[in-house]
């Protein structure tokens, strides 16, 4: 049997399991990957390690998506009243995906909750609720669930966001009330909101990185800087095909 070499990288996309009886992925994650030249692969939720190993061995990059709050128990803290609803099954699922992806050293991009998963997995902690623990004039999440706020992000010249977009500042879509508190060892912060909240982290090895904002929302609407983030991520995954 002839083996056909894959030419387009496959990007595994983590799923939400917050709604009973469903697994789901917001379409704009899928569209952003397609637009950047990758093949989106919706990852099935399972706690079967062998199946997960097989699934992760078949992808060239991992996209950890946004969603609900991460259980503070995972990073050794008691749950504050302001912490939102958590799903430990999803926490465990995302951790398993990240462990397998990091073992294979495939590129990983975390968005919003996904960046927080990366930080806590590698030993960092989170602010469970920014208004309660980090008061600021910047509102990182609107009380209206259907309204997406935008605010400025400052990119360090030494970081990935600047090197990919060429911009020292970006207007980003913000839908979060948790954020990185203690940064994980082996990572650096490379972008900040004007109030000091960390908006992007990257590993010293450079293949694992995350953003606190939602670039997929702007990328699919034609924002050139946000499109570049996904093109770069797909190019990272494409190197595994060589």
- What is residue 34's predicted lDDT score, i.e. its pLDDT? 98
- Residue range 218-234: average pLDDT? 97
Query: Are residues 233 and 61 in contact, defined by beta-carbon separation less than 8 angstroms?
Result: yes
Does residue 1 lie within any of the structural domains?
Answer: no
Q: Is 187 helix (H, G, I), strand (E, B) or coil?
A: strand
Catalytic-residue membership of 151: no
In this structure, how many other beta carbons lie within 10 angstroms of the beta carbon of residue 17? 17
Q: Which stretches does DSSP call E strand in the chain?
A: 10-13, 39-42, 61-64, 108-111, 126-127, 149-155, 169-174, 179-180, 187-193, 198-203, 208-211
CA distances from 146 to 113, 141, 149, 173, 194 (A): 18, 10, 10, 12, 24
pLDDT exceeding 70 applies to what percent of the chain? 95
Does residue 3 lie within any of the structural domains?
Answer: no
- What is residue 16's predicted lDDT score, i.e. its pLDDT? 92
> Which tokens is 142 given?
């609107």
Does residue 169 lie within any of the structural domains?
Answer: yes
Query: Are residues 62 and 121 in contact, defined by beta-carbon separation less than 8 angstroms?
Result: no
pLDDT tens digits, residue range 166-191? Answer: 999 999 999 999 999 999 999 999 99
Does residue 5 lie within any of the structural domains?
Answer: no
DSSP 164: H
Look at strands 198-203 and 10-13 and give their pairing.
unpaired
Does residue 158 lie within any of the structural domains?
Answer: yes
Number of domains making up the chain: 1
- What is residue 14's predicted lDDT score, i.e. its pLDDT? 98
| Confidence band, pLDDT 50/70/90 cuts, at residue 240 | confident
Does residue 177 lie within any of the structural domains?
Answer: yes
> Which tokens is 60 given?
């060239």
- Mean pLDDT in the chain? 93
Query: Are residues 50 and 100 in contact, defined by beta-carbon separation less than 8 angstroms?
Result: no
Question: In which domain, by residue range, is 104 found?
Answer: 10-241
pLDDT tens digits, residue range 96-114? Answer: 999 999 999 999 999 999 9
- End-to-end distance of the chain based on CA atoms, in angstroms? 21
Above 60 in pLDDT, residue 4? no
- What is residue 235's predicted lDDT score, i.e. its pLDDT? 97
Q: Tell me the pTM.
A: 0.95
pLDDT tens digits, residue range 33-80? Answer: 999 999 999 999 999 999 999 999 999 999 999 999 999 999 999 888
Query: Are residues 208 and 202 in contact, defined by beta-carbon separation less than 8 angstroms?
Result: yes
Catalytic-residue membership of 86: no
Above 90 in pLDDT, residue 86? no
Catalytic-residue membership of 216: yes
Where residue 66 sits, what CATH number does that domain have?
3.40.50.880
What is the torsional sign of CA 212, 13, 188, 186? positive
Catalytic residue among 16, 83, 112, 176: 112
Q: Could you tell me how many residues make up the chain?
A: 242
- What is residue 1's predicted lDDT score, i.e. its pLDDT? 52
Does residue 135 lie within any of the structural domains?
Answer: yes
């Amino acid at each position: 049997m002839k083996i056909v070499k894959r030419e387009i990288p496959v990007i595994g996309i983590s799923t939400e399991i917050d709604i009973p009886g469903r697994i789901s992925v917001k379409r704009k994650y899928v569209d952003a990957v397609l637009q950047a030249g990758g093949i989106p692969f919706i990852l099935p939720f399972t706690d079967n390690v062998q199946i997960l190993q097989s699934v992760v061995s078949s992808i060239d990059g991992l996209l950890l998506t946004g969603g609900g709050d991460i259980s503070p128990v995972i990073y050794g803290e008691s749950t504050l009243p302001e912490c939102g609803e958590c799903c430990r099954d999803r926490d465990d699922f995302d951790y398993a995906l990240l462990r397998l992806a990091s073992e294979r050293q495939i590129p990983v991009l975390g968005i919003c909750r996904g960046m927080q998963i990366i930080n806590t997995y590698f030993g960092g902690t989170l602010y469970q609720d920014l208004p309660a623990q980090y008061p600021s004039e910047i509102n990182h999440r609107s009380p209206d669930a259907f309204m997406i706020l935008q605010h400025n992000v400052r990119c360090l010249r030494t970081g990935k966001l600047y090197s990919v977009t060429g911009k020292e500042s970006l207007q980003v879509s913000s839908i979060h009330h948790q954020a990185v508190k203690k940064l994980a060892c082996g990572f650096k912060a490379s972008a900040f909101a004007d109030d000091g909240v960390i908006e992007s982290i990257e590993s010293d090895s450079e293949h694992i990185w995350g953003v606190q904002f939602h670039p997929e929302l702007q990328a699919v609407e034609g924002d050139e800087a946000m499109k570049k983030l996904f093109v770069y991520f797909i190019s990272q995954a494409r190197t595994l095909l060589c």
